[in-house]
Amino acid sequence: MGQVPTDAKPDEAGRLTRDLARLVEPFHAVTYYSAEINQLRSDGFAGWWHAYFAYRPAPMGPVDVPVVVATFYNFHPRMIERAVPAVWDILSPAAVAERRAELVAASMARIFGGGDFDVAMRRAADLAQRAIRGATTDARPLFASYAALDWPDADDPAMVLWHACTLWREYRGDGHNLALAAAEIDGIESHVLMAASGHGNQPTITGIRGWTEDDWRAAVGRLADRGLVDSDGTYTDEGRRFRHEVERVTDRLSGHPAMVLGQDDGDQLRTDLSALVGHLIETGEVVGVWPPPAVLK
């Protein structure tokens, strides 16, 4: 969760799906990493995480804690309970979603305002919008709530692309949750498996997802009982095969947008997004990996 895999090799059918997911994620991530998003503090939010648990689930409306916990189940429930539903006394879900869009628009104007990427931006916006429109909302609660939002004005292709990438990211994220649930992997276990593949480690992940060391050790024990990791949390051969299968299922459940585009238009979107995301990473606006190096312990 949080990182499209690079080690779990997709089959041929999943290659374009995986490649595009790796590019959609960092473009969407301007939401979290841009300087502008920190202006939510001036609206009354206590900090970055406090604001996050206001705007990220906001399209679902003023739902109670159990709904957010179920949707964001890779977080320890107490992280959510500290914010929800009180955050919506500061700004309503509709207001905070609108405010986030305003701040992202300011970020996009600052980052891409020079005009160097106008052609790639407009083409990528058209392709990504076409790809994600019409994707099924079945069993995808977060994607369904975002899909119900109005599209940005077509005269602002950067925001159209950001919205399309956000929809795409939540579509895949919900699909990944479905794959994990079918594999009987809970929230903390998903992080143990991710750390085993080289993305993050126990101190970092527990620190930013709210789990404790005891939670982590218990999850390692459960996965070890299933033969997926050794007692130190490293993969067994079976565990590596297991994770690759979960990722293949995720690709299959998330393949609709790439299928809509087909190979030629998919390749074009990959080329254009690569240029745009490359600019974001080169300028330090996003880091392109998870967990962010700044939080690694």
pLDDT tens digit string along 34-83?
A: 999 999 999 999 999 999 999 999 999 999 999 999 999 999 999 999 99
Domain assignment present for residue 3? The answer is no
Is the confidence at residue 10, as pLDDT, over 70?
no
Tell me the per-residue pLDDT of 256-266, one tens digit each, with 9 for 90 and over: 999 999 999 99
Look at residue 96 and tell me if it is in a domain. Answer: no
Check residue 123 and give its pLDDT: 98
**Residue 229 DSSP one-character state:** B
pLDDT digits (tens, 9 = 90+) for 221-231: 999 999 999 99
Sign, Cα dihedral of 47, 48, 51, 53: negative
- pLDDT at residue 294 in the model: 82
Helix or strand run (H / E) with residue 274: helix 256-282
Mean pLDDT of 23-38: 96
Q: Is residue 174 part of a domain?
A: yes
Q: Looking at the domain assignment, is residue 170 inside a domain?
A: yes
219 domain residue, yes or no: yes
**Contacts (Cβ under 8 Å, ≥6 apart) of 39:** 103
Q: What are 275-290's pLDDT values in tens digits?
A: 999 999 999 999 988 8
6-20 average pLDDT score: 73
List pLDDT tens digits, range 156-215.
999 999 999 999 999 999 999 999 999 999 999 999 999 999 999 999 999 999 999 999
Q: Which domain holds residue 262?
A: 12-33+117-283
User: Does residue 13 surpass a pLDDT of 70?
Assistant: no
Mind listing the pLDDT tens digit for each residue in 91-105? Answer: 999 999 999 999 999
Query: Mean per-residue pLDDT for 143-148?
Result: 98
Indicate the number of domains in the chain: 1
Residue 52 lies in a domain: no
Q: How far apart are the first and last CA of the chain?
A: 19
Is residue 6 scored above 70 in pLDDT? Answer: no
Q: Is residue 228 part of a domain?
A: yes
The pLDDT of residue 291? 85
For 232-247, the DSSP string reads TSPBPHHHHHHHHHHH
Please report whether residue 45 resides in a domain: no
- pLDDT > 90? residue 11: no
Asked whether 244 and 6 are in contact (CB, 8 A), the reply is no
1 pLDDT higher than 50: no
Residue 73 in 3-state DSSP?
coil
The DSSP code for 56 is S
